[in-house]
Chains A and B, each alone.
Chain A
């Protein structure tokens, strides 16, 4: 049965300057799940991309994603779902760009990230909040087709930068 804390903050970063990528590397395999939370603002309208790997980030076409989003855009509302197979990253649908001091919120769960038997399923909530324009909640399920343990994750903003003040926190969750 369990010993020690089950929910640990492994690392946190708050951007003091705009940068293209945020990486957590040398992630311990001591946990069962990883949770990454963030408040994110991009310097341009772009998708949030995630690549993972073991030792180095996998840039091959080994990812797939299904997204579900409710979107509000200046009075009109729609819901949509998209799917992409054999792509080079997992992306969280919706924009990472928000005007002014509005930041989107991220909750990304990497389930059983360190087992070496199964492919890795990653489930995400990304919510954009703005007073008037394009915004909405989304749910994303991504797949990394590898049985390798994940020990590195990298976020990017699809050609843009993450803006000053964006935060990313990595948590590890242990199971009994």
Chain B
């Protein structure tokens, strides 16, 4: 299916009232799904970014995760850590030199229809050119069933000092995000 790429232009937010939390762009996946969602041309005028999303993928299983990458970098330049609950146990995981930061967990094709996972992901100091970029996320899905589900906390590191100008989200296993998956990108300003 066609990936969704949403360019963001400097004029995009001219109509917005002054505020420290601004909506930059939103994608709602249409019929037929989408293999990825990309926010590009992200302006450097904010201090932090936040992605708020609900998602479901077409993976042939009951749940799936989302890969998060920056500036089209698919090299092994990321690290990630997770703390999560499965409904019966609490666990942790960490990995260095990964090709993505992982956001967990979301519903997939075998889950009851209409169930979507949700996450709130903060990308801190994204435009700073002196720091590696740190990500934190709270998310999860409950399937109302006696199957393993995940809710938890994820953190990630992109080992690159470039300003983040594009963000791509891709299903970990599934080939597509399902219709009605929704991704909203916000910019958070610091004090002047």
Chain A residues packing against B (C-beta within 8 Å): 1-7, 32-33, 64-70, 79-83, 85-86, 109, 111-112, 115, 117-119, 121-123, 125, 139-143, 145, 147, 173-176
Contact A109 B118 (CB under 8 A): yes
Q: A123-B151, A139-B153 are in contact. Are A1 and B142 (CB under 8 A)?
A: no
Which residues does chain B contribute within 8 Å of A82, judged by CB atoms? Answer: 85, 87-88
Q: A5-B17, A119-B115 are in contact. Are A143 and B142 (CB under 8 A)?
A: yes
Q: Interface size on B (CB < 8 Å)?
A: 50
Among candidates A67, A69, A121, A176, residue contacting B184 with C-beta atoms closer than 8 Å = A176
Within 8 A of A (CB), among B84-128: 84-90, 112, 114-120
Give Cα distance in the complex from A118 to B84, angstroms: 24
In chain B, what residue has the closest Cβ to A4? B17
Contact B120 A123 (CB under 8 A): yes
Which residues does chain A contribute within 8 Å of B48, judged by CB atoms? Answer: none
Q: A2-B16, A139-B152 are in contact. Are A80 and B90 (CB under 8 A)?
A: yes
Contact B119 A2 (CB under 8 A): no
20 more contacts with CB within 8 A, not counting A7-B19, A112-B116, are A1-B15, A3-B17, A5-B16, A6-B16, A7-B20, A33-B52, A66-B85, A66-B151, A67-B151, A111-B52, A111-B53, A115-B182, A121-B141, A121-B142, A139-B85, A141-B118, A141-B139, A141-B142, A145-B144, A176-B26
Q: A81-B85, A83-B142, A139-B140 are in contact. Are A5 and B19 (CB under 8 A)?
A: yes
Q: A2-B13, A67-B85 are in contact. Are A139 and B142 (CB under 8 A)?
A: no
Contact B26 A173 (CB under 8 A): no
Contact B90 A85 (CB under 8 A): no
Contact B52 A143 (CB under 8 A): no
Give Cα distance in the complex from A32 to B12, angstroms: 19
Q: Can you list 25 A-B pairs with a CB-CB distance of less than 8 A?
A: A1-B13, A2-B13, A2-B16, A6-B19, A6-B22, A6-B23, A32-B26, A32-B52, A32-B184, A69-B90, A81-B87, A83-B149, A111-B53, A118-B115, A118-B116, A119-B115, A122-B118, A123-B119, A123-B139, A139-B140, A143-B141, A145-B114, A145-B144, A173-B52, A175-B52
